[in-house]
Chain A
Amino acid sequence: MSTAPRTRTRRAPLTILVGAGVALLVVVVLLSLLVGSRVLSPVETFGGLFGHDPVAAAVIWELRLPRTLLGLLVGAALGVAGALAQSVTRNPLADPGLLGISSGAAVAVVVGGAFLGLGAGTPRVLLALVGAALATVAVYTFARRSPEGLTPVNMTLAGMALTAFLGAVVSATVLLSASTMDQYRFWVVGALSIPDPQTLVPAALIAAVGAVVAASVSGSLNTLALGDDTASALGVNVLRTRISTGAAVVLLSGTAVALAGPIAFVGLVIPHMARALVGNDVRRMLVLSAVLGPLLLLSADIIGRLIVRPSELQVGVVTAILGTPFFIWLTWRTRSKGLAR
């Protein structure tokens, strides 16, 4: 990745971008409340919004609102986690899946479900966090023990190796237990549905801690982009920055994976969009990613509710379909610009 500062003069100021993003987000949130597998007439919708129509009110406020809040939380967490992961590994293809984090959470959820009988809800959130943290520690340990030390390339490689290994563990567990398979099949593609809206509160707290850590390391991450030696020379504690960033990524993506499954591409695509809009400044990227993440996720979820009525296409499938062309284009563009390493 180029470290040369890009011209900032032609970019729109951050406040305007964030303002526009938030405005769009409000529109999408409204759409998310109004659109779903149950068709509500304008009269019913109006009655539901203001509590005159009990059925429509239950649909809007008790079924669609928790789902929308979940989308906001998961989207923001994935967007920010992706931006952090790409910055700390200096790898434009990094996302929470790459560092073994999603698969760590997945293994914990699957094994917990198959052997401990733990289902959806708070136990799953905690399990996923533990799994994500263990996977991150493992990746960190492997990468650190390699001859070149804790370089971004080593972290990425260790993450990919661990992901492959954990994938095998998940497959083995799932194939041995048919009922876990059934549960896993839907969880693994990612969906915005939680049986108990109460789960949102502890999850939001955990994600908020992650966001605070992210904000506190964002300045150091900017310096880290100049290279480890330069950053050290400028007084940044490289190791501590990496560990804090890793912790933030674990908290954010672990929560997201636990709540909605390993949703693909949001963590990958959003930081790139943010970077294209506000440049390489990590702090600006984080803020914009937190707005763009839920925007993409909720839009994908709304599309998923509409295209296979009366069933719903899970949001993970929609983001994968939307994200794939972008991913291919990104790979192509990165190479054609000679930015790949």
Chain B
Amino acid sequence: MPRIAPWPLALLVVAAVALSGCAPATSGAGSNQSNVATGQEGFQDVRALAAELGTDAAPGEFPRTIRNIVANGTVGETEIPAKPQRVIVLDTGELDNMVALGIEPIGIAHPADTGMAPDYLEVGDAVDLGPYYALDLEQIKNLDPDLILGTSLRIDDDGLKKKLQDIAPTVLSPRPGVLWKENFLLNAAAVGEEEQAQKLLDAYEERAAAVGDDVVEANEGVAPTVSMLRFMAGRIRLYGNDSFIGTILADAGLPRPKTEDVNELAVEISAEEITKAEGDWLLWGTYGKPDATEQATVVDGPLWSKVKAVADGGVVREVNDGTWYLGLGVEGAQLVLDDLEAIAAER
């Protein structure tokens, strides 16, 4: 009887996993080519869904009920008996939101490749709950929280949602990124800081418009189209309108090149197609280790000098992935505006 080596078998498994992760990219509305872009909610209706969420309570009034995602595709009510003191956040967006409101979470879950929090956020004595796809439920229970904040996209299993709801009142928004402002208001409603949150958002929007004006002025009175390029392990993305950075550029009144002016999280391209980044300005970031991505092949690679912004002498700049792509909250957005302002000033 011939023995079958474990390597081929292991590779078969790997192949199957890899295949399931590389779903063919189809064209058409709502086709999202990545796990991040693919939520259980239809991507198109996500803003309408977010508009249903929130509270009717008067400012500062507790107990209050919060309409939020209680199971996949289901909006329900969560009662919060008193102003929460022990808050757990399940992703960077929620962390940013709490820090912006002056609340120190007691426990933090985070993306796989980052620490507990991006560099720009102070976390104090918070406990590390592990990456959000492998939550340390026992630790969460031990911390005895009185509020858990997250997104349905990250906590995509209804069983897990139920377990969290059993531990403490849990408020989930549909998804991170494009909904960051809606999420901020929802999170703020859960902790009774909705007025403060609205103030911060108004201040952000006012500043975004001003920074946009600075950029236009620096670019000789013409608004430059901005390409947002990101290298990740195994993929290269041009970020579209339905992303964190897409909403910030829109708030600043900065136009996007045609390829990126789409209502999607991002458009995926290959290294050979890098000239699809057609913005007058090209801002790029790298998630995780540059070595794991195609950054070295592309940046200063054979086609780099043919990319529009490089060829025409526009702004070509590496930006901080931790704020521009992972920020996901108003604090991160303010830092993005800082960077944009600095770029405009140097121009």
Q: Which residues of A contact B (CB under 8 A)?
A: 36-38, 54-55, 58-59, 61-64, 92-93, 95, 97-98, 102-103, 113, 119-120, 156, 160, 163-164, 167, 178-179, 181-183, 185-186, 188-189, 193, 195-196, 262, 264-265, 268, 307-314, 316-317, 320-321, 323-324, 327, 331, 334-335, 340
Contact = CB atoms under 8 A, between A and B. Distances in A.
Interface stretch (B174-182, B265-273, B335-343): B265-273
A63 B288 contact: no
Given A189-B14, A311-B25, A183 B3 contact: no
A179 B272 contact: no
Interface string B232-262: 0111000000000000000000000000000
A95 B113 CA distance: 35
A314 B11 contact: no
Contacts of B306: 54-55, 58
In the complex, the 6 A-B pairs of residues with the closest C-beta atoms, listed nearest first: A62-B302, A97-B7, A38-B272, A37-B270, A119-B291, A183-B292
Contacts of B48: none
B26 to A, nearest CB: 10
Nearest to B10: A167
Contacts of A195: 291, 294, 296-297
Contacts of A37: 270, 272-273
B270 A189 contact: no
A92 B7 CA distance: 15
Interface string B287-313: 011011010110001110010000000
B11 A189 contact: yes
B22 A93 contact: no
Q: Find the residue from B25, B272, B273, B297 having the highest chain A CB count within 10 A.
A: B272
B18 A314 contact: yes
Given A93-B5, A317-B22, 4 more contacts: A97-B11, A268-B8, A311-B33, A331-B4
Contacts of B303: 55, 58-59, 62-63
A340 B2 contact: yes
A93 B3 contact: yes
A335 B288 contact: no
Nearest to B13: A320
Contact of B3 (A160, A307, A324): A160
14 contacts: A59-B272, A63-B303, A97-B7, A102-B7, A119-B289, A120-B291, A163-B7, A167-B10, A182-B113, A188-B14, A264-B15, A308-B24, A314-B18, A331-B2
Nearest to B269: A310
Contacts of B233: 182-183, 185-186
Contacts of B288: 179, 182
A273 B242 CA distance: 51
B6 interface: yes
A316 B2 contact: no
Contacts of A160: 3, 5-6
Given A160-B6, A163-B5, A63 B272 contact: yes
B51 interface: no
Nearest to B290: A119
B112 interface: yes
B22 A182 contact: no
A196 B300 CA distance: 12
B268 A310 contact: yes
A58 B302 contact: yes
Interface string B11-29: 1101100110011110000
Contacts of B296: 120, 195-196
A317 B7 contact: no
Q: Find the residue from B3, B8, B306 having the highest chain A CB count within 10 A.
A: B8
Given A54-B306, A55-B303, A308-B24, A97 B5 contact: yes
Nearest to A118: B291
A188 B306 CA distance: 32
Contacts of B165: none
A312 B2 contact: no
A335 B301 CA distance: 51
Contacts of B18: 189, 314, 317
B320 interface: no
B292 to A, nearest CB: 4
A320 B7 contact: no
Interface in B167-217: none
Contacts of A324: 8, 12
Q: Find the residue from A310, A323, A331 having the highest chain B CB count within 10 A.
A: A310
Contacts of B15: 189, 264, 316-317, 320-321
Contacts of A103: 7
B4 A313 contact: no
B58 interface: no
A193 B294 CA distance: 9
Q: Find the residue from B5, B113, B275, B288 having the highest chain A CB count within 10 A.
A: B5
A61 B288 CA distance: 30
A151 B303 CA distance: 53
A311 B22 contact: yes
A153 to B, nearest CB: 9
Contacts of A98: 5, 7
A327 B301 CA distance: 39
A120 B292 CA distance: 9
Contacts of A178: 112-113, 131
A93 B1 CA distance: 11
Contacts of A307: 24
A64 B234 CA distance: 18
B8 A265 contact: yes
B25 A317 contact: no
A15 to B, nearest CB: 33
Contact of B5 (A95, A193, A320): A95
B3 A185 contact: no
A311 B10 contact: no
Given A59-B272, A178-B131, A183 B6 contact: no
Contact of A317 (B8, B19, B292, B297): B19
Contacts of B25: 308-311
Contacts of A313: 19, 22
Contact of B271 (A63, A156, A317): A63
